[in-house]
Amino acid sequence: MNFDFSDDQKMLKEQVRKFLADKCPMSVTRRVLEKEEPYAAEVWKGLVEMGLTGTAIPEEFGGLGLGALELCVIAEELGRAAAPVPFSSSIYLAAEALRLFGTKKQKETWLPKLASGEIIGTLAVSEGTHAAHPRNIAVKQAGGKINGVKQPVVDGGAASLAIVAVNTGGSGEGAVSLAIVDLKAGGVSTEPVRTLDPSRQHVTLSFKDAPAEILGDKPGEGWSQLSRVFDGAAVLFAFEQVGGTEAALEMARDYALERYAFGRQIGSYQAIKHKLADMYVKKELAKSNAYFGAMMLNDEGAELTEAAAASRIAGSDAYVFAAQENIQTHGGIGYTWESDCQFHYRRAKLLALAVGAPIQWKEKLVARLEAKNAA
Amino acid sequence: MDFNDTAEEAAYRAEVRAWLDKNATRKENAKDIAPPKDLKEMIAQSKAWQAKKADAGYACITWPKEWGGGGGTTINNVIYSQEESKYAVPGGIFAIGLGMCIPTVMSWGSDEAKQRFVKPAVRGDEIWCQLFSEPAGGSDVAGLRTKAEKDGDDWVINGQKVWTSGAHFCDYGILLVRTDPNVPKHKGLTMFWIDMKDPAVEVRPIKQMSGGAEFNEVFFTNLRVKDSQRLGKVGDGWKVALTTLMNERLAVGGSQGNADTDELISLARNTDIAGEPAIRHGGVRERIADWYVQAQGLKFTRFRTLTALSKGETPGPESSISKIVAAKKMQDLGSFGMDLQDMGGVIRDRKISPEEGAYTEQWIGAAGYRIAGGTDEILRNIVAERVLGLPQDIRVDKDLPFNQAPKGK
């Protein structure tokens, strides 16, 4: 039984943790949120210089050629810091979509730039306040041009590249393709979108005859490609959620030790102790599920979808719960603008919605379990 | 990352399998073998199996060979348990004795006591029980009232214990009593080993809500024990008891044999809500997903612990979540399984119910499982205090002499 990360992977995690503790304290997240900066440029630069953006990109395309496990340990630390950087958009989503499904030429064009941090990429799927489905993808591609509106698109303002879910005609899942769009090539306008978590910038992307090229060599495979990209991202986001849960729990614990009410530490009341114990329980369930997700992702295992769904469900549950109850533990002070509690509260829900809400993943999971049970 | 054995682990597993194949029947081939209904027969079979294991070095695998153990590692023990669980072998009437009592004797008993008791217990010749809980001391064990008074070289014991598993067939027990009521509660306790067959010991079964009777009340009326039966110093009983309790949650273990999500999916495919298969219903699907994620979380938490053991490291505190999650899940899933059977969900009669009343039994049993070996609430306190470093509850009786502390009836 070797259900753990290697010493090298743990060392990498420690390095990222130290860097972020030093360069990306909560004051940086606050600054990005308050000043509406697109992202913390100096933190992003540091992550790029450490080579982290190239972690899972093959060497022939300018990366380090490491695997998913390395990305997972990085993700956990980014989550712990609630880091205001476009790492997930550029790497878990855009780079992974290209690595998995791009043609050699597409990879050669884009992956080295994503690996080196020369450009930022993102994935544009959502078209408003409803879940994406093959039936409702309205952005259309025809004749090498796309038209329509995607919103919200995280990091869409800073990105030079977007992988865009588009309708290429036909029926059912076969109507969907993923398109590579150079956001600097014209036909694209961006408009900021006000969201729950301004420490991560979101925009509306409007395409008017924007030049686009199908990801891979044929159209109609976008829905299954997207599903696989989301499976991987669900695992990586789950590690961010585990890191965030741990940070929120530590905040709540520290405050429960420091704050006195009715002549004693509030952490000595069972109402608080049991709340924090429940955070810990959810965190460990999330972590254990995420570990299996990591293993399936790294091995491209047969149970990747189930493991990704379980990682996402447990991770979302743990982080949202911990972020909510962290504020509750702090009482009134936790609800102020001055308090750092808000950053986990915002980020927890953002991450829980990022690649589809938990209820969508529960459906995806049970559909698989049901099919297995019937077989 | 992988779930594979190391070369040594694989070799040990192969050895274990070969031995079990030779000496036991795999469960799938044992469907026609009914477990003995008669208690004596059950005990005889258990003892015979334990002796066989001891001879082969599979009883108390981690204990030194000089004490009758196997001289193996913790991971050897895990591998043996994993393999043995696939065979129809007699159940664990020795678990409490070997998991809790004998380790206490080994840590605190005289050389004479160790020589006398350890090996027979390992071989299953003698069975032990643990006598701590009392009507007035459950979660707060140190609030116990059974008293021992010095009389010459002997101690005379009077009082009552409760929830004693297996007391009706045990030979010996370890007994925690109050030897000094004039000092605060944790300081006035002392531990002894006792002979359960002494006529001054009376065992009465407790009929549980489920209808079964696995536990007992045990009464002591002027039970005389020798001072040489003492385990640890007079007044050190709490310290000694902690040695025992540290092992308890390991001994109480998991909740095998209960319905889980796979069974629930089958049930939901074969029952209806508003004339449609229940499995099509969103509320049903969401619950299945939540319980699956919990079950996977528990399984992989166990794998994390095993990994630490396999590497020879001390596991982290993550395994402390296991019973908190498992017991409540067992109860909720049992309850929901009954709901899916609608009005018929009340049926316990195995002949009528296609599910053999499993969900009903599970729901009833879970009420006890949430309490046994540490209640949900005590386990959350333990996580909060030992893992998260939060302060202990304020204890109003902590510094008061026991006989002046506030008490209920």
CATH number reported for the structural domain that contains residue B329 in this entry: 1.20.140.10
Distance of alpha carbon B230 from alpha carbon B236, whole angstroms: 10
Distance of alpha carbon A82 from alpha carbon A34, whole angstroms: 15
Name residues 286-305 of chain A within 8 A of B (Cβ).
286-289, 291-292, 294-295, 298-299
Q: Which of B200, B227, B250 is the last residue of a domain?
A: B250
Alpha-carbon distance A268 to nearest alpha carbon in chain B (angstroms):
5
* pLDDT in the model for residue B136: 86
Alpha-carbon distance B143 to nearest alpha carbon in chain A (angstroms):
20
The C-alpha torsion from B135 through B136 and B142 to B147, rounded to 10°, is -80
Are A373 and B265 a contacting pair at CB < 8 A?
A: yes
E strands within chain A? 121-124, 140-142, 145-154, 161-167, 176-182, 188-192, 202-214, 260-261, 264-265
Give the pairing type, strands A161-167 and A121-124. Answer: parallel
Q: Is residue B395 part of a domain?
A: no
B361 is catalytic: no
The mean pLDDT of B359-381, rounded to a whole number, is 93
Q: Which of A191, A115, A117 is nearest to A156 (CA)?
A: A191
The two structure tokens encoding residue B28: 């799938």
Sign of CA dihedral B118, B122, B126, B129: positive
Distance of alpha carbon A288 from alpha carbon B301, whole angstroms: 5
Q: Are A120 and A155 in contact (CB under 8 A)?
A: yes
- In chain B, the residue whose alpha carbon lies closest to the alpha carbon of A6 is B1
Instruction: Say which residue, A353 or B253, is predicted with more confidence.
Output: A353
Are A373 and B269 a contacting pair at CB < 8 A?
A: yes
Fold entry, domain A7-115: Butyryl-Coa Dehydrogenase, subunit A; domain 1 (1.10.540)
Those residues whose C-beta lies under 8 Å from the C-beta of residue B99, and which sit 6 or more positions away, are: B247, B248, B250, B251
Q: pLDDT tens digits, residue range B305-353?
A: 989 888 888 888 888 899 999 999 999 999 999 999 999 999 988 888 8
Rg (CA), chain B: 23
Angle between helix axes B111-123 and B39-56 (nearest 10 degrees) is 110
Which of A288, A292, A321 to mutate: most B Cβ within 10 Å? A288
* Co-location of B240 and B270 in the same domain: no
* pLDDT in the model for residue A48: 98
pLDDT band (50, 70, 90) for residue B250:
very low
Mark B216-236 as b/e (b = at least 16 C-beta within 10 Å).
bbbbbeebebeeebbbbebeb
| Contacts across the A-B interface (CB distance below 8 Å) | 164
Q: Is residue B382 part of a domain?
A: no
Distances (CA, A) of A184 to A64, A93, A109, A178: 27, 19, 15, 18
* pLDDT in the model for residue A332: 97
Q: How many domains does chain B have?
A: 3
Q: pLDDT tens digits, residue range B62-88?
A: 999 999 999 999 899 989 999 999 999
Are A268 and B324 a contacting pair at CB < 8 A?
A: no
Q: Is residue B350 part of a domain?
A: yes
pLDDT at B34 over 90: no
Reply yes or no: is the peptide bond before residue B315 cis, omega within 30 of 0: no
The two structure tokens encoding residue B203: 């065992």
* pLDDT in the model for residue B315: 82
Q: Is A189 helix (H, G, I), strand (E, B) or coil?
A: strand
What residue spans in chain A does CATH classification 1.20.140.10 cover? 223-374
Q: Is residue B83 part of a domain?
A: yes
pLDDT band (50, 70, 90) for residue B245:
confident
Q: Is residue B179 part of a domain?
A: yes
Mark B306-325 as b/e (b = at least 16 C-beta within 10 Å).
bbbbbeeeebeebbbbbbbb
Indicate the residue of A270, A273, A313 with minimum beta-carbon distance to B289.
Answer: A313
Are B296 and A288 a contacting pair at CB < 8 A?
A: yes
Tokens 């990005």 belong to residue = A32
Distance of alpha carbon B367 from alpha carbon B364, whole angstroms: 6
Indicate the residue of B1, B308, B380 with minimum beta-carbon distance to A273.
Answer: B380
The two structure tokens encoding residue A359: 């209820």
First to last CA, chain B: 56
Q: Is A283 helix (H, G, I), strand (E, B) or coil?
A: helix
Are A314 and B389 a contacting pair at CB < 8 A?
A: no
Q: List chain A residues with CB under 8 Å of B383.
A: 277, 280-281
Sign of CA dihedral B336, B342, B346, B350: negative
* Co-location of B238 and B141 in the same domain: yes
Are B289 and A69 a contacting pair at CB < 8 A?
A: no
Write down the catalytic residue from B15, B202, B248, B318.
Answer: B248
Q: Is B315 helix (H, G, I), strand (E, B) or coil?
A: coil
- In chain B, the residue whose alpha carbon lies closest to the alpha carbon of A278 is B380
The C-alpha torsion from A68 through A69 and A71 to A77, rounded to 10°, is 160
Are A274 and B393 a contacting pair at CB < 8 A?
A: no
The two structure tokens encoding residue A360: 């969508």
Are A314 and B324 a contacting pair at CB < 8 A?
A: no
| Residue range A121-220, CATH number | 2.40.110.10
- In chain A, the residue whose alpha carbon lies closest to the alpha carbon of B316 is A284
* Co-location of B136 and B75 in the same domain: no
Distance of alpha carbon B249 from alpha carbon B95, whole angstroms: 12
The two structure tokens encoding residue A217: 């060599």
Q: Which of B62, B91, B120 is the last residue of a domain?
A: B91
Around Cβ B243, how many Cβ atoms within 10 Å?
A: 18
Q: Is residue B401 part of a domain?
A: no
For residue B210, the surrounding DSSP H or E stretch is none
* pLDDT in the model for residue B248: 55
Q: Is B35 helix (H, G, I), strand (E, B) or coil?
A: coil
A239–chain B Cβ distance below 8 A for any pair: no
Reply yes or no: is the peptide bond before residue A152 cis, omega within 30 of 0: yes
Name residues 184-203 of chain A within 8 A of B (Cβ).
none
Alpha-carbon distance A334 to nearest alpha carbon in chain B (angstroms):
20
* pLDDT in the model for residue B251: 40
Distance of alpha carbon B128 from alpha carbon B166, whole angstroms: 8
pLDDT at B255 over 80: no
Indicate the residue of A265, A289, A373 with minimum beta-carbon distance to B266.
Answer: A373
* Co-location of B188 and B233 in the same domain: yes
Q: Is residue B408 part of a domain?
A: no
Around Cβ B254, how many Cβ atoms within 10 Å?
A: 11
* pLDDT in the model for residue B314: 81
Which of B77, B296, B376, B377 to mutate: most A Cβ within 10 Å? B296
Whole-number percent of chain B with pLDDT over 90: 77
- In chain A, the residue whose alpha carbon lies closest to the alpha carbon of B4 is A1
Are B388 and A289 a contacting pair at CB < 8 A?
A: no
Q: Is B66 helix (H, G, I), strand (E, B) or coil?
A: helix
* Co-location of B322 and B352 in the same domain: yes
First to last CA, chain A: 29
Q: pLDDT tens digits, residue range B266-275?
A: 999 999 999 9
* Co-location of B354 and B296 in the same domain: yes
pLDDT at B398 over 90: no
Alpha-carbon distance B310 to nearest alpha carbon in chain A (angstroms):
7
Are A288 and B303 a contacting pair at CB < 8 A?
A: yes
Question: To the nearest whole number, what is the mean pLDDT of chain B?
Answer: 92
Q: Is A144 helix (H, G, I), strand (E, B) or coil?
A: coil
- B158: domain CATH number? 2.40.110.10
* pLDDT in the model for residue B212: 86
Q: Which of B149, B297, B291 is nearest to B234 (CA)?
A: B149
Tokens 């079950």 belong to residue = B295
Indicate the residue of B261, B300, B391 with minimum beta-carbon distance to A265.
Answer: B391
Distance of alpha carbon A159 from alpha carbon A190, whole angstroms: 11
Q: Which CATH superfamily is domain A223-374 in?
A: Butyryl-CoA Dehydrogenase, subunit A, domain 3 (1.20.140.10)
Sign of CA dihedral B66, B70, B73, B78: negative
Assign 3-class secondary structure to B161-174: ECCCCCCCCCCEEE
Which of B293, B383, B393 to mutate: most A Cβ within 10 Å? B293
* pLDDT in the model for residue B249: 47
Are A284 and B318 a contacting pair at CB < 8 A?
A: yes
Are A370 and B269 a contacting pair at CB < 8 A?
A: yes
Q: Are A134 and A175 in contact (CB under 8 A)?
A: yes
Tokens 């840590």 belong to residue = B107
Are A294 and B391 a contacting pair at CB < 8 A?
A: no
Q: List chain B residues with CB under 8 Å of A2.
A: 1-4, 307, 310
The mean pLDDT of B233-258, rounded to a whole number, is 72
Tokens 């329980």 belong to residue = A281
Indicate the residue of B261, B311, B379 with minimum beta-carbon distance to A369.
Answer: B261
* Co-location of B147 and B190 in the same domain: yes
pLDDT at B406 over 80: yes
Q: List chain A residues with CB under 8 Å of B379.
A: 277
A249–chain B Cβ distance below 8 A for any pair: yes
pLDDT band (50, 70, 90) for residue B247:
low
Are B261 and A359 a contacting pair at CB < 8 A?
A: no
Per-residue pLDDT of chain A (375 residues; tens, 9 = 90+): 899 999 999 999 999 999 999 999 999 999 999 999 999 999 999 999 999 999 999 999 999 999 999 999 999 999 999 999 999 999 999 999 999 999 999 999 999 999 999 999 999 999 999 999 999 999 999 999 999 999 999 999 999 999 999 999 989 999 999 999 999 999 999 999 999 999 999 999 999 999 999 999 999 999 999 999 999 999 999 999 999 999 999 999 999 999 999 999 999 999 999 999 999 999 999 999 999 999 999 999 999 999 999 999 999 999 999 999 999 999 999 999 999 999 999 999 999 999 999 999 999 999 999 999 998
Q: Which of B235, B250, B265 is the last residue of a domain?
A: B250
Distance of alpha carbon B206 from alpha carbon B199, whole angstroms: 20
Q: Are A322 and A56 in contact (CB under 8 A)?
A: no
Are A272 and B294 a contacting pair at CB < 8 A?
A: no
* pLDDT in the model for residue B256: 54
* Co-location of B276 and B332 in the same domain: yes
Q: Are A270 and B385 in contact (CB under 8 A)?
A: no
Alpha-carbon distance B190 to nearest alpha carbon in chain A (angstroms):
29
Q: List chain A residues with CB under 8 Å of B288.
A: 366, 369
* Co-location of B231 and B268 in the same domain: no
- In chain B, the residue whose alpha carbon lies closest to the alpha carbon of A70 is B1
Q: List chain A residues with CB under 8 Å of B325.
A: 281, 285
What residue spans in chain A does CATH classification 2.40.110.10 cover? 121-220
Q: Are B264 and B255 in contact (CB under 8 A)?
A: no
Give the domain extent around B318. Answer: 253-373
